[in-house]
Amino acid sequence: MPESLSFPAGFLWGTATSAYQIEGAVREDGRTPSIWDTFSHTPGRTAGGDTGDVAVEHYHRYRDDVELMADLGLNAYRFSVSWSRVQPTGRGPAVQRGLDFYRRLVDELLGRGIQPAVTLYHWDLPQELEDAGGWPARETAYRFAEYAGIVGEALGDRVSSWITLNEPWCSAFLGYGSGVHAPGRTDPAAALHAAHHLNLAHGLGTQALRAALPARAGVAVSLNSAVVRAVSDAPQDHDARRRIDNLANGVFHGPMLHGAYPEDLFADTARITDWSCVQDGDLAAIHQPLDALGLNYYTPALVSAAPDGTATRRADGHGASEHSPWPGSDDVAFHQTPGDRTEMGWTIDPTGLHELIMRYAREVPGLPMYITENGAAYDDKPDPDGRVHDPERIAYLHGHLGAVRRAIADGADVRGYYLWSLLDNFEWSYGYGKRFGAVYVDYETQARTPKSSAHWYATVAAAGALPAESVVG
């Protein structure tokens, strides 16, 4: 392999999932409803009324799924823990039956030479905590810290890679701003307060993990930091880019990585909230030393000032809603970026991933990075022989892995890549209509069939290098 196409020795080749999207078994072994159970069972919230009640039955088929990963030669797996499976009310002692599932899963992974990476929160807040106020309520951050300590104590002897939160932007702004995610609330002030309390939960949760875990364990967070570009060089378009960048990125990486919110974020949102939710000591609690940063990337954003200063229809890729997930930015216009698109309508642009990695290489030099999510949805179907060919996904992965490799060559410390997703699964408000998996799932029979992209990815992982562009597809 040409040197320029090789990845560093020890690079992790993984895949990722989340609990509510794959586990099913929502009423088994003491699990109680999360906000996604409630949301998906509310008429009109998900495509076709789909729910995660059964999902892809990973709770009962996890051994088969680990075997799939092993057969593909993957050496890392990122999964999330269902909070309401291990601490059903979000308070008090754990249910050991719930923790035992994750103990068995981790043991199975380790037995097949696959490194587990545990995400503590991937959007499935226990419903009882939402009933008590949810993420806009400060108390939820303290409940998260307690939960983090419980899971850390249970799995810390065998798991060395930990992630506090996955994509807190979605939890705050899609859950409480636009309402397209659970719990489906549409209150811009609540969304901003939720963002702060998710930050606080990350900091307090990191402290709880440090207290529970061996010194060798690493703690990270996974951010879906946006690559925000302006339509033109006009000052008003650059200001629109700045405002959206603060809401997409600075609101989280500011306090987490630098110990402060952007001051202009407060000014931009002053008519929505006075930010009194930020109390003395919060920023110090949030700004905890991290061992790595997880980055999730799918597509860039393109913005401008609205031509007439009035609200415009959004093309931000975050679902249809009359309510915006961008508090205080109704006069910012979002534009469809040019280029080919996935089934999600998201433009395919690997340059955005390179740009994102290099941004953090400059902002937090010395902090290792992992690509904790990257992938694409396509309309995959088996052929008459039962095989699933997805050359579009192979091309997508080749382009984005090439962007990662270029970033490494440019000096970025990227140590692993987690393909989203291992399996076709419940894709949140889109139900089962969008397939991100490297492995095709027949939802009627639950049969698993690795797609051609899975075999291609296995070849890349085995070689530790990308093939020549000419063989893609």
Closest C-alpha among 17, 218, 224 to residue 102: 17
Of 388, 232, 379, 358, residue with least CA distance to 297: 358
CA-to-CA separations, 10 to 139, 337, 363, in angstroms, rounded: 40, 35, 24
* Residue 57 annotated to the active site: no
Do residues 17 and 423 lie in contact, with contact meaning Cβ atoms separated by under 8 Å? Answer: yes
- How far is Cα 47 from Cα 70, in angstroms, rounded to an integer? 33
Task: Provide the 3-class DSSP secondary structure of residue 295.
Answer: strand
Q: 190 and 325 in contact (C-beta within 8 Å)? A: no
Separation between Cα atoms, residue 253 and residue 58, nearest integer Å: 33
Catalytic residue among 373, 427, 444, 469: 373
Stated as kind and residue range, the H or E segment containing 240 is helix 235-245
Q: Which residue has the tokens 């889109």?
A: 430
Query: Distance from CA of residue 473 to its chain's centroid?
Result: 27
Identify whether 373 is a catalytic site residue. yes
Torsion, Cα 240 362 316 427, to 10 degrees, reads -160
Strand-strand pairing, 293-296 and 369-374 = parallel
- The DSSP line for 174-213 is IHHTS-SSTT----HHHHHHHHHHHHHHHHHHHHHHHHHS
Q: How far apart are CA 219 and CA 207, in angstroms?
A: 10
Integer CA distances (angstroms), 304 to 53, 83, 90, 188, 263, in order: 41, 39, 41, 21, 21
Q: Which positions ≥6 away from 197 have C-beta within 8 Å?
A: 135, 136, 137, 138, 140, 141, 277
Of 83, 98, 80, the closest CA to residue 135 belongs to 83
- Nearest-angstrom CA–CA distance, 344 and 411: 32
From residue 106, how far is each of 122, 148, 419 by CA, in Å? 18, 17, 19
Cα angle for residues 21, 27, 30 (degrees, 5° grid)? 110
Q: Return the beta strands (E) in 306-457 as ranges.
A: 332-335, 369-374, 414-420, 439-441, 448-450
Determine contact, residues 393/378, Cβ cutoff 8 Å.
Answer: yes
Residue from 23, 108, 167, 392 carrying the catalytic annotation: 167
**Cα gap 183→124, rounded to integer Å:** 9
Residues designated catalytic = 167, 373
